[in-house]
Structure formats: C-alpha cells, structure tokens
Structure 1
Amino acid sequence: MSVRLPAPARMEGRTVVITGASSGIGRAAARELALLGAEVAVVGRNPERTAAVAEETGGRAFLVDYDRLDSVRDLGAALLHAYPAIHVLANNAGGMAERASTGDGHDLTFQRNHLAGFLLTSLLLDRLKATAAVAPEGSVRIVQTASGAAGFGRPRLDDLENRRGPWVGGWRAYANGKLENILFTRELAQRLAGTGVSAYAFHPGFVATSFGGGGPLISLAKRTALSPEEGAQPLVRLAAAAVPAPSGNYFDRLTAPGRTSRLAADADLARGLWEASAALVA
C-alpha cells in the first residue's frame, strides 16, 4: 500500500542542515523551512550564493568542497561547534560530473554523490542520536536527495569508483550514485533502529535547475520540468511533516514506496556499500 507525505508542520526550535543549499531545490527548501520556523544551516560551495541564501533565510552559511574529504571533515567540525542539537540532516548535494579523480583518489561522481555525504553523516551521527534522545519522537531525520535515475543504477562493490565499463556521458556513474543514496538510507535505517533517528530518500522529479547542463535534449525537457520550489517539496515534507512510512523508505516525489531498481532491496549490497565506504573515509 502506498502512502503520501502530508503538508509540513511548524519547525520552531529545530535545526536543519542542508547541503547543496546555495541553488536549486536546496535553496528552495532552505527558504521554506526557514519560513516554517527552522534554524537552517546553509551549506554550499559557492561563497557568494551560499552567503546570499543564509542572509535571506536568517541562517548561517557553511562552505564545503565535496571534492576534498578534508573539507567535509572541516564542515562536520564547524557544524558540531555551531549547533548543540541537529534535528535534520539533508544530504542534498550531488550531481553529474566529468570522468576524473578527486585529490583523495576517488571517482569524482562517486565522491560527490555518495562518499562525501556518507562521511558527513558519520561525523554528525552521534549529535543526531543525542538530539533524538531529548527531542519529540520521530522529529530527528536524515534525508537523502536521490533520483529516479537510481532505477538504472548497477553499482558493484568491486568497482565503486566506476573505473570499468562505458562512461556514457557520466549517466551510468550518476545512476550508480543515486542508487547508492537509497542503499545508504536503507542501511542507515537498520543501523539506527531504536535510536530515534529515522532515514529517508526521495526522488524530487525532473526539476528546472542547472543540473545536466544546457544540451538540446536537456533544454527541451526543462520546458516541462518542475520548478525548484515544487521539486523541493519532498525534502521540505520529509524534514517537517509527520512521515507516514517506516524509516528506510524511498519516496517518488510525495509517495512511498517509490519504484526503483530491485538492487535497492539488496541487504548484502547495502551492508557492503556501508563497510566499503567506512574503510574509504577512515
């Protein structure tokens, strides 16, 4: 049976961390959650845009470069110093990338879409658990921005860095990364059972943002795409609404369970991804 996310509730007294918040659905979500009363940590890469969103939401700006894991570690330390309680972590940063390696030696798409968010979550996990111990039941959450592209993902534990196989303009690596977001969410739900912290992933729909560049097919599709504000609704509601689905669920827009790859239900793959990721960021 499918369920649908209800309208968001007020967020006074709650702190929300949103990565990729300087543009697109991250920016739209930051604005709406601030209007709902949340204190928003605006995390972005571009200094000017990140500062502008922080100013308009009354939040604080935090800079990070997901291409450098040390920058993610610095972000984690800064967030822990700034906020004694964190109620929602929205891992929203990610996107397509060229075929390249980061300074850490990882595939750029893999690090931007999964590994950096995995590291940030790990760094903040104890603070989220401590917040859940004193916060209203069900109010502490980790939210992953995935994609319908996850349905085409086929990540392999022996090739998480996407070194083998065709590049296909980056789409194969991107689809793998988005499925990894869902697998990470499912494994988080297992590991967080009984802590009061829940985890969800969602597909925002096809949104008219800078994603995908300006090629003719992308430009044509964007004419009928959702606005960033519409695309942000799943994130906003998963942060602020009473979620009518168990932890670990994947939402297609506002509805769960969302249709995706059968590999999303592979418990061994989810566990293996967690263990491999933990080793890579140790």
Structure 2
Amino acid sequence: MSKNNWTAQDLPRMDGRTVVVTGANSGLGLVTSRELARAGARVVLAVRDTERGAAAAREIGGVTEVRELDLADLGSIREFARRWSEPIDVLINNAGIMMVPEGRTADGFERQFGTNHLGHFALTALLLPHLTDRVVTVSSQAHRRGHIDLADLNWKTRPYSPSGAYGQSKLANLLFTLELQRRLTAAGSSLRAVAAHPGWAATNLQNHTQNPIADFAMSVGNKLIAQNATAGALPTLFAATQDLPPAAYIGPDGFYEYRGYPTLVGRSHAASNPELAQQLWQQSEKLTGITLSSLAT
C-alpha cells in the first residue's frame, strides 16, 4: 500500500540539507531537483553540460549550484570528487541513458553499463566520506529483464543488444544498492543505501535509440501508459526523504508499477542475490580501480 497517496507536497522541510543530483538538468532529475529546492534544500546539479545545468538552475530557483560531471568519464568523476570538501546529506544517482546504440565510454566501458552503473559506483565510492544520510540510486522495471554476465560485462564477446545492455545496467543498480548496504551495515555505518524506479515516465530518455520501431513503440507507450515526469520523480523523492528500511526499493503502486503513488516494491530474484551483488562489486572495483579501501565507514 502507498503511504497516504504521497506527493511532493508531503516533502519534509529540507532547510540546511545538501543534496547532489546527477543528471539534474532535464526529465526526472530536473523535477527531483526542483521539488527538493522548493522544500528548502541546497541542490547541487551534477551535470555534463553546465550551460544546460545553469538554465535548469534558473528554472528551479531556490538554493542551487551547478557542477560539471560526466559519468561516462572516470577522470571527470574523480575531479568532481576531488573538488568536493563538505558534507552531503543525500546523493541521488539519477542520471542514465537508455537503449542507445553500441558505444564506449572514455574508459572503454559499454556505454550503458559504464554510465548507469560504473559511473555511479565510482562517484558514490569517492563521495562516501562526505555523506551523512543516504544514497538513492534510480533503477528501472527493466532490471527484471536484465542479466549480469560477469565474464562479459562490457559486451565485448556477446552480440550487442541495446535493451539487454540497459537491463543489465539497471539490474546492476539494484545489486549495487544491496551490496553497498551490506558493507555499510557491516562497518557499523548509519548511512542507508536505497533505490527507486519511476515506473513508465514520459521523458526525453526514450528517444535516443536510433531505432524507428523502438522509438515508435515507446512513443505510443508514452501516450497511453506513461505518467509524466512530475509523477515519475515521486519514488525518488520518497526514497530520498522518508524513513525506510535499509536497501529499500520504491516504485509506483499501481498498474504493474508503471504509474501511481510511491511505495515499497519488490525486485527480481537476481536483484536479491547477495552473492551476485558481491561478485559484481568486485568486478566494478577492478574495472574502475576504486576499491573498498576508498570507502569511509
């Protein structure tokens, strides 16, 4: 059951709290940032394009700051973290790309896995010494179709599948949350790792496939099934502000979790596998060069 049909109007006051939101200049990230700023938070828009970020900040109002961050470049991530020196109450790992054609990040990772998972893995690890409350990572219902191939995470030997790569990256988001929470708990940390998904939200995320059939199918779904970005951001806002169990997963409460009010939702068997989560973490450390010793406890 959802909690009293919760909306952004139910956000607690966030005065004095700092929230970092990746991918904050459009779509769900923009709505998330706007509502948190409206509630009094200082919102840091971590974006690849700072000009677009500045335009978004002007639209949002409130106390905002724009900082450059390219999640497809470990150098950019390290520089963002190096320049950070103050407490962060909430880190929202929101940015993502969806079902794009095959490509590589600056470090040679498959684009969707590299951006959606490895980029946020590295960012969270490097910022963790500054975090005071929680990490929120945005996943997707597509995680249910995902498969983690530990021997070929970057699609070097498999025939490339845009939807398969997206599903793997979103499954990785949930496994990352599971293992991060396990490690935080084992270390006696009060930090929480939680996840959220927006259901089917009509944003600009769905129009980069370069596949006319896929684009048409998603445009129809956007018109007939999807909720708007304002509603799609509610699970993230709920996850960022409510008292939730460790490793909680929040999504819409209605119509196969495509839309509705935010509530605790289930996840696939693979997304609940602690051994797989540990194995993925170890592989992520090897790929990024960021190890557990980098994490504060």
**With structure 1 as the length reference, what TM-score do the two structures score?**
0.89
**Residue matched to 1:32:** 35
Number of corresponding residues: 264
| Deviating more after overlay: 183-192 vs 159-168 | 159-168
Give the Cα–Cα distance (whole angstroms) in 1 for the partners of residues 147 and 250 of structure 2. 20
How far 1:233 sits from its partner (Å)? 0.7
Give the Cα–Cα distance (whole angstroms) in 2 for the partners of residues 38 and 63 of structure 1. 20
Report 1 or 2 for greater relative contact order, CA contacts < 8 Å, sequence distance ≥ 6: 1
Residue of structure 1 aligned with 2:189, choices 155, 176, 195: 195
Q: Which amino acid aligns with 1:61?
A: V
Give the Cα–Cα distance (whole angstroms) in 1 for the partners of residues 170 and 103 of structure 2. 18
**Residue matched to 2:74:** 69
**Residue matched to 2:212:** none
Q: Which amino acid aligns with 1:232?
A: A
Corresponding position: 1:171 with 2:163: yes
Corresponding position: 1:231 with 2:208: no
Paired residues of 1:8 and 1:242 also in contact (CA < 8 A): no
Give the Cα–Cα distance (whole angstroms) in 2 for the partners of residues 160 and 146 of structure 1. 17
**Residue matched to 2:150:** 157
Give the Cα–Cα distance (whole angstroms) in 1 for the partners of residues 29 and 238 of structure 2. 13
How far 1:167 sits from its partner (Å)? 2.7
Paired residues of 1:99 and 1:167 also in contact (CA < 8 A): yes
Q: Which amino acid aligns with 2:247?
A: G
| Deviating more after overlay: 42-51 vs 109-118 | 42-51
Corresponding position: 1:100 with 2:99: no
**Residue matched to 2:221:** 221
Query: SS of 1:180's equivalent?
Result: helix
| Deviating more after overlay: 270-279 vs 156-165 | 156-165
Query: SS of 1:60's equivalent?
Result: strand
Q: Which amino acid aligns with 2:93?
A: N
Corresponding position: 1:122 with 2:125: yes
Paired residues of 1:22 and 1:45 also in contact (CA < 8 A): no
**Residue matched to 2:64:** 59
Paired residues of 2:96 and 2:116 also in contact (CA < 8 A): yes
Give the Cα–Cα distance (whole angstroms) in 2 for the partners of residues 9 and 227 of structure 1. 22
How far 1:150 sits from its partner (Å)? 0.2
Give the Cα–Cα distance (whole angstroms) in 2 for the partners of residues 147 and 124 of structure 1. 24
How far 1:252 sits from its partner (Å)? 2.3
Give the Cα–Cα distance (whole angstroms) in 1 for the partners of residues 236 and 106 of structure 2. 31
Output one character per residue of 1:121-177: Cα deviation in whole Å (capped at 9) or x when no partner: 00011111xx3xxxxxxxx11001100000011112111112343433x00000000
How far 1:265 sits from its partner (Å)? 1.3
Give the Cα–Cα distance (whole angstroms) in 2 for the partners of residues 47 and 85 of structure 1. 22
How far 1:4 sits from its partner (Å)? 4.3
Q: Which amino acid aligns with 1:264?
A: A
Output one character per residue of 1:201-238: Cα deviation in whole Å (capped at 9) or x when no partner: 11101111111217211111111321111111111121
Give the Cα–Cα distance (whole angstroms) in 2 for the partners of residues 18 and 34 of structure 1. 11
Give the Cα–Cα distance (whole angstroms) in 2 for the partners of residues 247 and 204 of structure 1. 19
Q: Which amino acid aligns with 1:102?
A: T
How far 1:45 sits from its partner (Å)? 1.6
Output one character per residue of 1:55-112: Cα deviation in whole Å (capped at 9) or x when no partner: 333300011222211011111123x23xx21000000011223212222121111111
For the aligned residues, what is the CA RMSD? 1.6
Give the Cα–Cα distance (whole angstroms) in 2 for the partners of residues 218 and 15 of structure 1. 35
How far 1:43 sits from its partner (Å)? 1.1
1:81-96 mapped onto 2 (5 Å cutoff) = 81=85, 84-96=86-98
Paired residues of 2:152 and 2:158 also in contact (CA < 8 A): no
Give the Cα–Cα distance (whole angstroms) in 1 for the partners of residues 2 and 183 of structure 2. 24
**Residue matched to 2:251:** 252
Identity %: 38
Paired residues of 2:236 and 2:250 also in contact (CA < 8 A): no
Unpaired stretches in structure 1, ≥5 consecutive residues:
132-139
Give the Cα–Cα distance (whole angstroms) in 2 for the partners of residues 191 and 4 of structure 1. 29
Runs of 4+, deviation exceeding 3 Å: 2-7
Q: Which amino acid aligns with 1:255?
A: T
**Residue matched to 2:45:** 42
